[in-house]
Amino acid sequence: MSAVTTWLGTDAFGLRRPPDVRLLLPAVMAWLTALGALAAPPRLSWACSVVAGGAAIGVYLRARPRSEPVALTLVAALACSATVAAVTGAHVARATGSAASRVAALEREAEFAATVRTDPRSRAGAPRPGRAEWVMVARTAWVRVDGRRTVSSAQVVVLASGPRWNGLLPGQEFRARGVFLPSEGDPLTSALVLVRGPPEAVTRPSGLQALAGRVRAGLREAASALPQPERGLLPALVVGDVRLLREDTAEDFRSTGMAHLLTVSGSNLAVLTGFVLGLARWLRAPVWCSVAGGAVMIWLFVLVCRPEPSVVRAAFMGSLALLALATGRAHAALGALSLTVLGVLFVAPGLAVSYGFTLSVLATAGILAFVPSWTRMWSRWLPQPVADAVAVAVAAQVAVAPVLVLLSAEVSWVAVPANVLAAPVVATVTVAGFVLAALSVLWPTAAAVAAHPPGWGVAWIAWVAETGAGVPHGALPWRSDAVGALVLAGILLILVSARGWLLRVAAAIVVAVLLLFLAVRCVPGDWPPQGWDLVACDVGQGDGFVLSAGAGSAIVADTGEDPAVIDACLTRLGVREVPLLVLSHDHADHVDGTPGVLRHRRVGAALVPHGFGDTAMGRALAEDEVELWAGRRGQSFRVGPWLLRVLWPPPGYAGSVNDGSVVVRADGASLSVLLTGDIEEQAQRRMLAGPDAGLLPVTVLTAPHHGANTQDPDFLAATEPVVTVTSVGEDNAYGHPSPYTWALLERLGRINLRTDRDGDVAVLDGGGTGPVRVVARGPAPGR
């Protein structure tokens, strides 16, 4: 069969041939059509499909031989757009017209039967009573409301709790009862279902799914012999199983542009199929045998790693690559990628809005477009393997940067060196990990021992991510909207397309901007104020206080609910060590941000309520080898310049969780602070009548329970504060602080501040102008 060659490309053999871009326009048009159709009513999508189909027929009939290549490309683009519009409209119509969607619109409780589509995943954050532990995607078979059963084939997201949900596998059917709520932002998901109780009438999984489940569980069990973070990273890197992955480790990978390693994709499949093809070549097996082996590997890869967006893209393109190998056209990668996009969108148009699918496609496109020429150019100055690794890392980063900025609001310059350092080890870990997964099913005891060699490679990758995340000013802040993405894409386009003097000028401008950015970031600013003693971090609806204990060291009292927020506050303050962490009580808005304190910081000990070690956060601290001290009245600690005395609770106290808050008085060189947690009237009255009532007067009072309407006025008056600080979230649903309490605080304190209005607040020595000075950073941008 002869090769076809046009100015749009060729399918002739040879790496020096121009790339085949004939399917690029159809792929782009289909993707844009899917994006539009997902946001449009189904009837409008179908109307556009008819128009595009008619236009395709018209262009084809009027095409002339001279313009045939262009005309056929345009016909293909219009035909693909018509197909995607029709398919997407049908998907949206089925989702919005389902019985599940109608029940969700009424926010009713209903019984339903469904089939599991994805493995249950644990939700981010610490487990809490009444908060769903697991989330998974399922497809309903029927929905029953008020005794009436209605057939409903619709995709839903199930939020559930309990150990019986954890073991479900894709393909299993179950029955349950829950509240159906509207799903916002995803037109193909009919409802969110808040399930009560365990699943019922659960069917047995298929033999293949049971095997895949055993492989994934076996790999987790084998990895359990490793310390953290290797224990959670090994299953994540090999099969995308993130159940054991710690949040701080995942954040390190995101910060260094290595998050793609936690989502199995084309790179993993390329390593595995490359291993199989290399083995076949070494054994001198015929081509059909190599293709068959590669196909089996792709099938196993999808089965074990699950059909995630990046896996679907990789499997589809890998299949086309094997087909190209069998037909002798193994170089047509760009055409294969375009055909992959078309095939995936024809079947699953919802992936058009998937960040995972988008990043996977763009990274692959960048590697195909830039790596060959960059490798040839850079190999003049670098060893060939180094040139290959650098070219791949830079090409992938350039291609995905405009999309990543939408997710992270920053451009990382650490990403390229971090990926270059990790890449050589990733291939070895991938192959060894798959072998380990198979061994874990056949011989679990041996697998626990065999996990250590790949664990060494994982430890290196973890070290690269942690070190890269700790680099000061490792990312350039950027607008996280469409304008920011387009501007970044334009800058990158100029850099990759410029040649000669234009390239040198563009590169000089970029370097100058980066140096200016680093200079500005490194020059000391106005935050934090020099000599600060206490800072109330703006953690939203929660508490997060920091007491300076010396250069780079601080006591942290409560951590808010979001680890990233308290981590950012401590980073601004330059805190690298926390000799003592005080957690007043086990409520999410006071302790769930603790992983942010632990990130890249050494925490010496934690002062916690009695029994805190049995909670999820207590176990997390113990895993990080943080010693837990149960707080009770009468204890005292000297930490740096601070004397800390526990005023509450008394030994054996059995009141409410709020009233059981550990209350600490901290005395420093120039001021004193009363850290009150969430104590309410009962605890306040008992403290006022207790033996430590004389220790209540302080310089700074942190308002109890965020200024709620649960205060004893006499207790507040007994503190005699100069400054009151109320840590509270903007427009919170609780109405904190209450007008009554805020009026009391304004009468008592000379200076009264709120984090929702003032942002981070610093208190420091008055320096002759008064007992103390107060500096407010201002609310976070965007408020």
Mean per-residue pLDDT pooled into runs of 10, the chain (783 residues): 38 45 87 94 94 91 70 89 95 93 93 93 72 90 91 93 89 94 89 92 91 90 91 91 86 85 75 77 80 82 79 73 61 75 90 86 84 85 81 85 84 85 86 90 91 94 91 80 87 78 64 61 70 95 95 95 93 94 95 92 95 90 92 94 95 91 94 95 94 93 95 95 94 92 93 94 78 85 50
Q: How far is CA 670 from CA 538, 695, 716, 761, in A?
A: 23, 16, 22, 17
> Beta-strand (E) ranges in 697-771?
700-702, 723-726, 751-754, 760-765
pLDDT of residue 67: 61
Whether the predicted model's global pTM rises above the 0.85 cut: no
- Cα 733–chain centre separation: 26
Paired tokens of 133: 């532990």
Judge contact between 532 and 556, C-beta under 8 A: no
pLDDT of residue 7: 36
Q: Per DSSP, what are the bridge partners of residue 672?
A: 667
- Cα 368–chain centre separation: 27
Paired tokens of 409: 């609001």
Q: Per DSSP, what are the bridge partners of residue 494?
A: none
pLDDT of residue 354: 86
Q: Per DSSP, what are the bridge partners of residue 145?
A: 148
Paired tokens of 746: 């304004």
Question: How far apart are alpha carbons 613 and 611 in whole angstroms?
Answer: 5
Contacts by residues 301-307 (CB-CB < 8 Å, ≥ 24 positions apart): 301/264, 301/268, 301/269, 301/272, 303/208, 303/209, 303/211, 303/212, 304/212, 304/215, 304/216, 304/239, 304/437, 305/239, 305/240, 305/264, 305/268, 306/118, 306/119, 306/170, 306/212, 306/240
pLDDT of residue 150: 92
> Beta-strand (E) ranges in 315-442?
410-412
Q: How far is CA 49 from CA 60, 87, 472, 554, 744, in A?
A: 17, 9, 51, 62, 65
